[in-house]
Structures are given as C-alpha cells and as structure tokens.
Structure 1
Amino acid sequence: MAGVSLKCGDCGVLLKSVEEAQEHAELTSHSNFSESTEAVLNLICSACGKPCRSKTESDLHTKRTGHTEFVDKTSETAKPISLEVPKVAATDSEEAVGEGSSSQSEEMVVPEVDKKLLEELEAMGFPTTRATRALHFSGNASLEAAVNWVVEHESDPDIDQMPMVPLNKNAEPPKPSLTPEEMKLKAQELRERARKKKEEEEKRMEREREKERIRVGKELLEAKRIEEENERKRLMALRKAEKEEEKRAREKIRQKLEEDKAERRRRLGLPPEDPAVTKPSAPVVEEKKSFVPVRPATKAEQMRECLRSLKQNHKDDDAKVKRAFQTLLTYIGNVARNPDEEKFRKIRLNNQAFQDRVGSLKGGVEFFEICGFEKVEGDQFLFLSRDKVDMQVLNSAGSELNSAINNPFFGVL
C-alpha cells in the first residue's frame, strides 16, 4: 500500500506532505522522516467546523468548547503522498514567473485572529507565534481560553510554530475589534471570574480542612476517653487491692489478738471464754511448734518481732520509726541486688547518718544481725561475708520491712 503520510521518527507526528515535513524540520531540527501508511486524522467538529488532526486535539477542543460530535473525513482527504521535493524559488525571477502558477494551487496563509486579543497576549509576554497559535486553536473565543490553551499545550513540540491554514476566499471577516471600554470591561470580567473561581476553590479547601479537623478531633477525643477509662479501671483495681490488703491485715491482727488472749488464759489456767467459738489452745500451740524446724519461717518471725519491738520502743515518734524501716530496706535491697559488692555488705557503725537513722534505735542493729551481719574490727563495722549471703533470708527481710512500712496496724498491739 502506498504511503499516505510522512512520520517523524523523532517525535512520531504525522505530516500530510513534504512541505509540512520541511517546515517541521526547520522548526524542530528533526531530520528522521519515513513514509507511513497511517493517514493523518481529519476530524471535523460538527458544531463549529474546526478540523482536528489527532485524538488529543479533538479531546482538547471538546474540553474547551464542550463540542463532542466530530465527523471523520480522514478517508476522504487521504491520498498517496508525493515524495518529490517541491521546487523552491531559487531566484527572484523564478519566483515572479511561478507566482501565477502557484496561485492556482492551494495557498497556505497565517490564520486571521483577533488583533486586540493578540496584542493583549503579546503584552502579557507570549511570543507572536505562540499567541497566534493559541487564538487560532481556541477559536478566538476569549483571552482566558487562549491562555488556557497555551498552558495545556506548552509542552507540544510545535508550540512556537506559526499555524498555517489554506486560503479561504469565502471566509467570513474577522470579528470586529473591541473598543477600549469593551476591553476594560472584558478584562474586568475575566478578573472577576478568576476571583470568584479562586474564592470557590478556597471555600472548598476550607470545607475539606474543616472536615479533616473534625475527624482528627473525634479521634483525639476517643483516644482520650479510652485512656481515661483505662486509668479509671486501674485506680479501681488498685483501690480494691488496697482494701483487700487492709482487710487481710485486720483479720491477721484479730487472729493474733485471739491467739494471744487464749494463750494468756491458758497460762493462767483459765478456761476459754466461749468454748463453742474459740479454738482450743493446745492445737494452736502444736501448729506453731510444727513451723519451728523450718529455718525461713524462724528468721521471718525473729525479724517481725525485732521490727515490732523497734516500733513499740519508739511509738512516740512515728516519723523516726518509718525512716528507720526505710533505711533498713535500702541497706537490705542494696545487698540483695549487688551481693558481690563489698561496699554494700560493710557498714560503719559510728557513721553519723547511720546512727541517726538506725544505730541509735533499739532493735536496728539486731535486725542486721538476724540477716547475717556480724560485728568486726572491734565492733567498728557490721559485715556480711559473701558466703553467708542468703537470698531467701534477704527476701524475707524485704517482705517484713514492706509489711511494716505499708501496714498501718503494724506493731499497734
């Protein structure tokens, strides 16, 4: 099949003739052309009659004007392309001679465009070729349409190529130029339209931002609610645990009182006050004796009694007793966490801070001795040798000290 167009191998554009190929080469410096069997599209707008040479061009025309119906006349206008190079006027005489014959063929001229709009585009900084092309392809509709066309086609390879159309002797005269007053009104209308469009866009963006702020605010409120709910549950669980601990402490004190009372009546040879409720004293004694051989229980009992004695001996100064308990807990905790560090296992007895907090209180040094400390170097130091560090004893000491500090009824009786 004979070729019906020339295709540029550099940009892929289809050209109808050798003349168009030459003009394209001059404007773009492209030189790779080949004969193609693909015809140049000729889509004619049914509404305004504007020819479109590509699907992209017809889509842009539809976008600008709203015209959607096109008549495909590609097959009617497609014809085998002649690859003969047209004769170029070599001299002025030959041009003068051939002027008469060339006038008989189709003459290509620059399309007529609105001069006022062209001047306004040039005043805005657009080149004449680009402004002319924009006005021609936008149908001389308006300054806004021409500017939009330039923005949409600024990447086209032929954007700065002067458009050429066949000379139409029957063409209608161009639209009358606008008067200066009309130009001012038109420019004011364009500015007002652009301002309204900008305001509408800003309002739309503000609505979107407001929706986003509301969404984020709801998420933050929900997260805060969940956090507060979790905190409330945690506090409730903590209060419940404290109440249980207090209840157990009260029950333990009550049991201890009952046992001490029964023990005193037994020693005095008195019968129990209520035999139906109070347990016999003998089984209680046997139960206590059953725990005597267990070493951790014996140490724990001695520590508890030592702490109780310390509080009884200084019951008039609760702050001093509590500070002594906390100091003992610090010393024991340091040894339990760092059993290999000698500095935690050796205490100078004449240290003023130690004396003020623990040493001067009756029962303070005795508690250390129950934990395994021994007086060395002429009773100048309390020392716990590494091989005598018993973690079970230290843990029992820590538990007894925590109970003494946190139990408000400790040592009351």
Structure 2
Amino acid sequence: MAGVSLECRDCGAQLRSVEEAQEHAELKGHTNFAESTTRVLNLICTTCGKPCRSHIETDLHTKRTGHAQFADKTSEAAKPVVLESRPAAGEDEAMADAEGQKAKEELVVPEVNKDLLAELEGMGFPVARATRALYCSKGGSVEEAVNWIVEHEDDPDIDELPKVAARKAEPPKPTLTPEEAKAKAQALVEKARRKKEEEEKRAEREREKERIRIGKELLEAKRIEEDNDRKRIIALRKAEKEEEKRAREKIRQKLGEDKAERRRKLGLPPEEPKAAADAVPLVVEPFEKEAKKSTLPVRPATKAEQMRDCLRSIKQTYKEDDAKVKRTFQTLLTYIGNIARLPSEEKFRKIRLTNASFQERVGNIEGGIRFLELCGFERDETGEFIILSHGKIDLILLNTAGAELNSAISNPFFGVL
C-alpha cells in the first residue's frame, strides 16, 4: 500500500503531507521522517464542525464543549503522500540551479559498520549488496540487513554500491565562556520555569471552571430537593387538615345521633332540621357551659404538633444558650436526614446512649431523646441503645420531623413567643 502519511521517527507524530513534515521539523527540530501506511485520523464534530486528529483531541473537545458526536472522515481525507514538492511560480530557475549544484557535488560510498559488513560477506553476500543493505536498514543489525535484502532482492540496483553526497566539514561551534554558558543555562531555566507556570495557571483555570460547574449543579440539585420537600410538607399538611375535617364531621354526626336517641327515649318527636336551625339558643350558666365543653372529645395532637412543642420546650429551657440549642437541632436534623436518605443502613438507626458526643449534643438536653422517640426510636432491652427498627420507618414522619427542625433552625422567633 502506498504511503498515506509521514511518521516522525523522533516523536512518533503522524503527518499528512510533506508540508506538515516541514513545519513539524521547523517547530520541533526533528529530521527523521519515514513513509507510513497509517492514516491520520480526521474526526469531524457533528455539532460545530471542528476537525480532530486523534482521540485525545476528541476527548478534550468533549470536555470543553460537551459535544460527543464525531463523524469519521479519515478515509475521505487520506491521500497518498507526494514526496516531491512542486516548485512555486518563479522558483523553477532557483531549483534548477540548486539541482545543478547538487549534481556537481561529489558522491561517495557511505560508511557502514565494518564488523557487520564482514559478517554479511562471510554469509556469501556480495560487498555491494551487503553495503546497500546496511545503509538502507540504518545498520542496526545483521538480521535487519538480511531482512532488507530479502524484501528488495528484485531491485535492479541491489548490487550497486549506494552513493551519497560527501559531507562538508562543519564549521566548529563557537565555544562559550563560563559566564556566557552560565547566562545561557539561566535563560533556559527561566524559560522552562515560565512554561511550567503557564501550564499550571492553565490547569488551575480548568479546575476552577470545573469547580464552578459542579457548584452550580449542586445548587440546582439542592433547590430541586427543597422544592420537593416543600411540596411533600404541603401535601402532608393538607392531608392532616382533611383528616381533622373528617374527624369533626364524625363527632358532629355522633352528637346528632345521641341527641336523637335521647329524644326518642323521652318520647319526644324527632327534631326537624329547620326547626333546630331556627330555634332560639338557650341561656346556659357558665358552669354548665364548662360542663358541656368537658363532655366533648378532645382532638389528639398530631405528631407534627408534638414535635413542634418538644422543640419549643428545648428552645425555652435553654434560651440563654442559643448556640447549644442550635447545635442540638442540627444534630437531630443530621440523624433524621441520614435515615431518610439511607433507610436500609442500620448504623444510622442505632445510637449508643453512652456516646460522649451524643450525650453532649442530645442526651443531656431535656427533650432531645423525646424528639427521637416521636420519630419512632425505642430503647432496646439493655437500655444501652436507642433504635429505630426497620419495620417502623415512616418516611412521611421523618420528612415532617426534618421540616420542623429546619423551621426551628431558620426562624429566629421560634419558641420566643
């Protein structure tokens, strides 16, 4: 297969054309290039059209822009490498002069490893063939030279000595004084240090952008979670109001049935609804009113109200030490939040009562353990632990407890009035 790219033997970079190889040589100072049958990747971003030449470039592009779809145009862009560059207009004469000058240069047989040449001669290979094989295979080893001979044994010039232009004596490099050498070394060190600082700044900017992005995502997730908690609390309170309404209706209905039963026992006719509505209310003495009030069933306090009263009692008991109260509320919120987030984790549902940190933050606070009991915690048989068993986990109740704690922490007037 014809070469479709040039490979830099110094760093391994794949280049599409001679022009790219020349630019690479000028930038990097590399001069060892060879034809390669490996195509240079041409991956086009389907979103913005940016071309990428490697999977590393596609990964970086995806990280910066979020674009992840790329079209592979490698086969369309791959073209055979033309090693003979075409002269630009007006350069024909200069190239002709250069070629004439090159033709006048003396051609000599290149030097090869004498030991390897003698070994190949000992194998029976002609001197010209062995010399050409060692020169073309870079003189690495006898095995490489033999492989080259096998691959090129049909070449018409295989038994001709290779010719190369004689090397001109390079002018001696000017020697530097100790002061100049020290100054040059210092300049190189400063250049390397500046390059490193620029790379560190660029990496820091990338990290800062990543931190900002993650922060925005966390804030958005927190906002969504707060909205969901607010909706759950609203739904819970609505359900409580409906339950209270149904309970009042049952009580009213029961009172009506009892009243009708008493009239029936006294032999009185059933009371007509309209007459009952138009009846003039009787004047009742205060003590009789109190007696009637005492006979009505009292609506039991809901768990939310009990929790609120418990937190209000803690706030009023330790009103002189606001920091202690806030720390207790936050500790209780942490316990409740861990269970609501991971209800299957037993370690969050089992608290040692003798734990020093627990005693300081909750255990020694009057009403702290009571609040946990309202959330479903119970003491075990030994009395050493307070446990919320898996079967008694009520996520709605835990959410209610979290809402009450949040309100107690964020409301500066909680428990004051």
TM-score range, shorter chain: 0.3 to 0.5
Q: How does the TM-score come out when normalised to structure 2?
A: 0.32
